[in-house]
Structure 1
Amino acid sequence: MLKTFYKKRIVHNSLLKRKRMMNRTLAPKTSTVSHIDFQSPEIITLQNGAKLYAIRKTNDETVRIDFVFDAGSLKTSKIIAQLTGDLLLSGTHDKSSDEIEEAIDALGGFNGVEITKEKAKISVIGLREHIVSIAETLVDAIMNVNFNPKEIKQLLQSKKKKMAISLEKVSTQARRAFISDLMQNSPYGDLVQLEDYDHIEQSDLIEFHKEKYLKGLKYISIVGAIDDQDLATIQSLGEQFKKEEITSFDYDYSYSPNNIHIEKDQAVQTAIRVGRVLFNKQHTDFIKFSVVNTILGGYFGSRLMTSIREDKGYTYGIGSGVAQLSETGYFFISTEVGKEFKDLTLEAIQEEITLLQTEEVSKKELDLVKNYIIGQILEQSDGAQAMMDRFISVETFGLDFSYYDDFIKQVKEVTAEELKELANRYLNWEDFVVVCAG
């Protein structure tokens, strides 16, 4: 009986203690964020002038290394840039592509290649104890690639077949027509055509590799807890490349508003792309316009999603965004709808834009969106790799981590009146390129 009494007493006291600790009738305390405590990378200038960025204060057992080259498709045709990147690990005079892949696999490594208009990024991920060996294998493959004609022919055939299939999709047709028309006065608007695959020579790839890989290292980034010796080894690997002065171009980003319809008789869906040339994060209006964009179509609860997906049922998804390029950027809205809903969807998009231009956003909606945007920034800054991504994102535009403090400050302080003014300045329908394919 006494044991039972004490057992009940202990349980009772425990419940009282928990009740005192957590009162579920009271909302938890909230705090506002004004600063993100980023871990700044070490910055080393290599002998060739390229930069090495390293974040080494992390408990992860894995290490990621990115080698970034001035080998984007702005410097040549998109086909040559993409093919060169795809073939970097296709074999040297001493090793076949299978031998290179097997050497990386045996060390538990993963590799990837990403080619954009402005750069080529070759990444490797591996355990800390093997990352130097993986990087040495990768660099040897990049520097000594032999561009086997057989590999080139196979890749050309494969890519041409995939492109032919992709060109049948209304989403591809709308995207290509939109970019081509919007960026018609710069290389960003140059598009690959099917017949281009028939005019590629091995010498094209060899020359591009020589100029933009062997002489085109931009920077190396490392995220992982490597020691000083491994850091020095990776630094020496980077110094095997050269870094020549990157040529800047003065492109013409002027465009003419346009309305384009691409008819596809058998299509069930119509792909829609709407937008205009705008700006990147260097522009003084970028941050506050990001709030306008989020309200309009930048998250799942946006007005476009609510109106066109939830209320009207015209589409499974619709969104808007600002694509950032090195010197400019562009605003876009994209969706695919049933063919019969094309005109109704365009009208609904116009209505939502007009609403932003004529009525101030309510405090409730604005507070929700502000919290969402700041929450996204915090989420995207969590962890060493995320911090490196955030660093590269601002370093590319000549900015630093203080940009994010300014971003948070401007988002918190922007008013409904300012958003309305920005919508009137940048979201006029008569300034848009409108493309429909279907």
Structure 2
Amino acid sequence: MSERKNNRLVLPGLVVVTLAAACAVYFLRPNDSVASQALDQVKSANTLQSLAELDGKAPTNRQLDVQTWNTAEGAKVLFVEAHELPMFDMRILFAAGSSQDGNTPGVALLTNAMLNEGVPDKDVSQIAAGFEGLGADFGNGAYRDMALVSLRSLSDSDKREAALALFDEVIGKPTFPADSLARIKNQLLAGFEYQKQNPGKLAGIELFKRLYGDHPYAHPSEGTAQSVPGITLAQLREFHAKAYAAGNAVIAVVGDLSRAEAEAMVAKVSASLPKGPALAKIAQPVEPQAGVSHIEFPSKQTHLLLAQLGIDRADPDYAALSLGNQILGGGGFGTRLMSEVREKRGLTYGVYSGFSPMQVRGPFMINLQTRAEMSGGTLRLVEQVLADYLKTGPTQKELDDAKRELAGSFPLSTASNADIVGQLGAMGFYNLPLSYLEDFMKQSQALTVEQVKAAMNKHLSADKMVIVTAGPTIAQKPLPPPTDKPAEQPLGVPEH
């Protein structure tokens, strides 16, 4: 279940809220729970000297020559040559996330977690030693839409072929050892027990239940304490046979390879997978009923989660919603939410909003923690900020600033081979055009205030929020008035 850090699988544009454990999708924002006093010393108005020297000019984005083809078994391939380093990165994405769990929540994650636990004649330690001895790195992970496996290796033919041979065994011939299944189940069950002491996690689980009802996105990717113990080895083998089929895969490759070398490499990888077609796409969710749910929890702070259905990844308003959300609550200090809730009133360490577009409509969410005795007023304030923003839209200055910030940060999305392979994987998995990166920037920079306002109002409504709070029921205090120097400051460290 490991995956290298700093992978940007979610494409640039929409910054999503920090509910990684609850949402089980890739996120761009760091976990709010590790916020520190350093946040107090950061202001969005501060400008790095290197950015100042741009003098209004957008940084140059790396141009990608994306090549694509299908393997004989039906896997879609996206490839970019990059000869700067003698290495390559491969990522394979399968439509094998928890949305394919069916009536057995957790089977997708367990299948993925068990891939590198055993292959014929090798156990988990020997597999790990094999990759390490070749200077190669294996990664895997399972989320709501997808499961993935990845390989980074030297491109020298001897090292490459040896690493790929082991990689092909891991993804194509896992033995699913019984002792490993028992160990991983115990780890998951211990995690479920820990969740009981984590109000943020409890709130996230409840939010997805309320938001998605009977839809496959409703349950956590890791399954539940009720479902995991009964999952069998036979179920894992069956899931692997259908969900890890070549026809259900997208293969992204970046690195020091020629087109011919890449074709030969992915042909072997594709042939090592089970044979079969792509799985059927899941249905769109039904609109949930708005309302508030509360989870009683003894703590000094209350978690506030607000959500409604957002967009799927193919929605043409993606770019407009990206910039709109950046201004509302996706950009840290200086956003509407951060300004009103933290900077003017000192009610929270951080408040963030974001869309999580997926195969079908993913959530739009706002999340924060605040003092329990001010949670009611803070919730109303957040709702009012959203309502006002939808009514007025962004100012021209806010939009110009958001465009400049996007132009400055966008080159990071292709700064390394690992970044590029993540972009390619997402482009292939969500059937985005090969020109997506260029198209996104052009669309974003051409947006007007009216277009952003229209897109936000098309997809969001202040009266459709599904709200979950987790904290104690105590007497409420009035909120302090807004000021440039609030007397109250956020509590030292968020509880979770």
Q: TM-score range by the shorter chain?
A: 0.7 to 0.9
Of 71, 76, 93, which residue of structure 2 is paired with 1:68?
93
Over 3 Å counting, the alpha-carbon distance change for 1:250 and 1:61 in structure 2 is closer
* Contact persistence 2:352–2:366 (CA under 8 A): yes
Measure, in 1, the Cα distance between the counterparts of 2:133 and 2:144: 33
Q: Residue 297 of structure 1: SS of its match in structure 2?
A: helix
Structure 2: any 5+ residue segments left out of the alignment? 1-48, 472-496
Q: Residue 121 of structure 2: SS of its match in structure 1?
A: coil
**Matches for 1:15-414 after TM superposition, within 5 Å:** 30=55, 38-76=63-101, 77-129=104-156, 130-191=159-220, 192-214=223-245, 217-227=248-258, 228-229=260-261, 231-249=263-281, 251-301=283-333, 302-414=335-447
Determine which structure has more spread, i.e. the larger CA radius of gyration. 1
Over 3 Å counting, the alpha-carbon distance change for 1:360 and 1:75 in structure 2 is closer
* TM-score when normalising by structure 2: 0.77
Measure, in 1, the Cα distance between the counterparts of 2:381 and 2:181: 47
Deviations 1:326-354 (A, max 9, x none): 12232111112221221122122122223
Measure, in 1, the Cα distance between the counterparts of 2:423 and 2:152: 19
Over aligned residues, Cα RMSD in angstroms? 2.5
Q: Say how many residue pairs are matched.
A: 413
Measure, in 2, the Cα distance between the counterparts of 1:402 and 1:366: 24
Amino acid at match of 2:232: E
Amino acid at match of 1:89: N
Cα deviation for residue 68 of structure 1 reads 2.6
Amino acid at match of 2:194: I
Measure, in 2, the Cα distance between the counterparts of 1:141 and 1:105: 14
The structure with higher relative contact order (CA 8 Å, sep 6+) is 2
Cα deviation for residue 263 of structure 1 reads 3.0
Q: Residue 197 of structure 2: SS of its match in structure 1?
A: coil
Deviations 1:352-401 (A, max 9, x none): 22331343533322211121123232321334443343333333333314
Q: Residue 96 of structure 2: SS of its match in structure 1?
A: coil
Cα deviation for residue 209 of structure 1 reads 1.7
Deviations 1:391-414 (A, max 9, x none): 333333333143344433332333
Measure, in 1, the Cα distance between the counterparts of 2:399 and 2:442: 15
Measure, in 2, the Cα distance between the counterparts of 1:342 and 1:223: 48
Deviates more, 1:116-125 or 1:220-229: 220-229
Over 3 Å counting, the alpha-carbon distance change for 1:311 and 1:328 in structure 2 is same
Cα deviation for residue 217 of structure 1 reads 4.7
* Contact persistence 1:80–1:205 (CA under 8 A): yes
Over 3 Å counting, the alpha-carbon distance change for 1:406 and 1:62 in structure 2 is closer
* TM-score when normalising by structure 1: 0.86
Measure, in 1, the Cα distance between the counterparts of 2:251 and 2:143: 17
Cα deviation for residue 189 of structure 1 reads 0.9
Q: Residue 239 of structure 1: SS of its match in structure 2?
A: helix
Q: Percent identity?
A: 21
Measure, in 2, the Cα distance between the counterparts of 1:392 and 1:145: 23
* Contact persistence 1:71–1:216 (CA under 8 A): no
Amino acid at match of 1:187: P
Measure, in 1, the Cα distance between the counterparts of 2:72 and 2:455: 46
Q: Show the counterpart of 2:24.
A: none
